[in-house]
Amino acid sequence: MNLVIDVGNSFVKLAVFKSDEIQYREVIRLKAVLEAISVLKARYSNLNKAIISSVGQLNQYQIASIQGEFDTLILGVDTLLPFHNQYKTPKTLGVDRIALVSAAINLYPNNNTLIIDAGTCITYDFVNSQKQYLGGAIAPGLMMRYKSLNNLTANLPLLKLSMPQSITGNSTTECMHSGVVFGVINEIEGAIAQYQDKYSDLTVILTGGDAKFLSKQLKSSIFAHSNFLLEGLNYILQINSNE
């Protein structure tokens, strides 16, 4: 069984996989990672391999402790990947995007696939049917747009995400909701349309923290995956374990 450790700035996502099937998932604070892993180790006696993503947020003691418990892969620029990386600056490609593309290769092999990760930023990543990763785009996410309106203006409030009632807002708050939400929806729909013009057989994946909210509003045919990044990390661990 495999342990997937996806480390963010303040939180860590932990997932246990048996082959391709996720058995357990939790989100914890960074400082509690070793205690949580110890509990999982006791619960799953055959948990023996691990992958760490975004290792920079862990301290050396935490890393050494994990490596002492598991056969551990630290995801980096030299890790064996299931796709051909055509990115001009491969060392700057985020490990989260690497994991998303890997998941697409695993679940949708030989497809032209656009992966849209709607989180703090909205990332667009494209891999073609020859398993060549060509790049994509990075744009502000929903909450980043709300915060920008508040931070960079004198009088606009900081709002929580809400679906606007109409494209035509009749108050300042409704105008802001319309601008942010419909702006993102139209951006995503426009990006999908541009890729479809070039690749008629395009598969579109939507994931990330805002995927559930956005999937209800998008007209395009998409596949929504809540654990797509974790699945990609597990797949990377699998192909490196088979070497």
Q: Which residues have a catalytic role annotated? A: 96
- Whether residue 10 is annotated as binding a ligand: the answer is yes
Annotated ligand binding at 94? The verdict is yes
Q: Is 172 annotated as a binding residue?
A: yes
179 is in an annotated binding site: no
- Identify the H or E element spanning 137: strand 132-140
Is 13 within any annotated ligand binding site?
yes
Any known ligand binding at 182?
A: no
CA 196/CA 221 separation, integer angstroms = 11
Among residues 139, 150, 116, 148, the alpha carbon closest in space to that of 222 is found at 116
Nearest partner of 135 among 92, 196, 74, judged by Cα: 92
Q: Return d(Cα 164, Cα 69) in angstroms, integer.
A: 49
160 belongs to an annotated ligand binding site: no
Q: Is residue 2 left, alpha or beta, with left meaning phi > 0 and alpha meaning psi from -120 to 50? A: beta
Report whether 197 belongs to an annotated binding site: no
Is 8 within any annotated ligand binding site? yes
135 is in an annotated binding site: no
The amino acid at residue 106 is N
Torsion angles phi and psi, residue 156, rounded to 5: -80, 135
- What's the rounded Cα separation, in Å, for the pair 146 and 41? 41
Residues annotated in a binding site for K(+): 117
Residues annotated in a binding site: 6-13, 87, 94-97, 117, 120, 172
Residues annotated in a binding site for substrate: 87, 94-97, 172
